[in-house]
Amino acid sequence: MNAVCSLCVYAAICRKERRELRWPGSLGAWEGFSNASDADLVAEQQIWAAVADADGDAAAKNEAFNCSNGDIYKWKQLWPVLAGKFGVEWAGYEGEERRVGLTAAMAGKEAVWAEIVAEEKLVATELGEVANWWFVDALFMDKWEFIDTMNKSKEHGFLGFRNTVRSFEAWIDKMKLYRIVP
């Protein structure tokens, strides 16, 4: 699943409606450490794993490996980046009593998205094709930190990594370049 596209769509709708980009998740997800997996890094690791035996690392054959960028971040670091990319004001965690998940907040926004697509000359998409609100809600409801390790991959010779903030910015920029989001 890809949360970045959904978050870009959320930011675009906030901009269209002149609303601030409110954090829809828990305090744990806002403050806690997490890690991400850049899609290109996942592909690199899959290719590495597929050819590892051919390169002489028979120990990697038929093994399962985690894949994450190799750094950690907090969503409170990425939220202002997202807001900046869409030119909207933002608000961080405001307490459980003010929290509204994206499934509820974005219900009935299909017409707003259709207007954005038409006005911005984006690739023709329906809201449900570019946004997975339930997935973002599930991701942001965690009350604990989510961190894995790349040690097994490193021990077998895969040393790929990504800077999560740069990766987040790059994927937003790619989606804008390909006219998926404004």
In degrees and rounded to multiples of 5, residue 107 shows phi and psi of -60, 130
Q: What is the pLDDT of residue 57?
A: 62
Asked if the model's pLDDT at residue 16 lies above 80, the reply is: yes
DSSP calls for the chain? --HHHHHHHHHHHHHHTT--EE--S-HHHHHSEE----HHHHHHHHHHHHHTTTTT-GGGTT-------SS-EEHHHHHHHHHHHHT--EE----GGG---HHHHTTT-HHHHHHHHHHHT-----HHHH--HHHHHHHHT-SS-B----HHHHHTT------HHHHHHHHHHHHHHTTS--
- 140 token code pair: 């942001």
Quote the percentage of the chain above a pLDDT of 70: 96
pLDDT tens readout for residues 67-88: 999 999 999 999 999 999 999 9
Please report the domains of the chain, with CATH numbers, ordered by start residue.
3-177 (3.40.50.720)
Q: How confident is the model at residue 60 (pLDDT cuts 50, 70, 90)?
A: confident
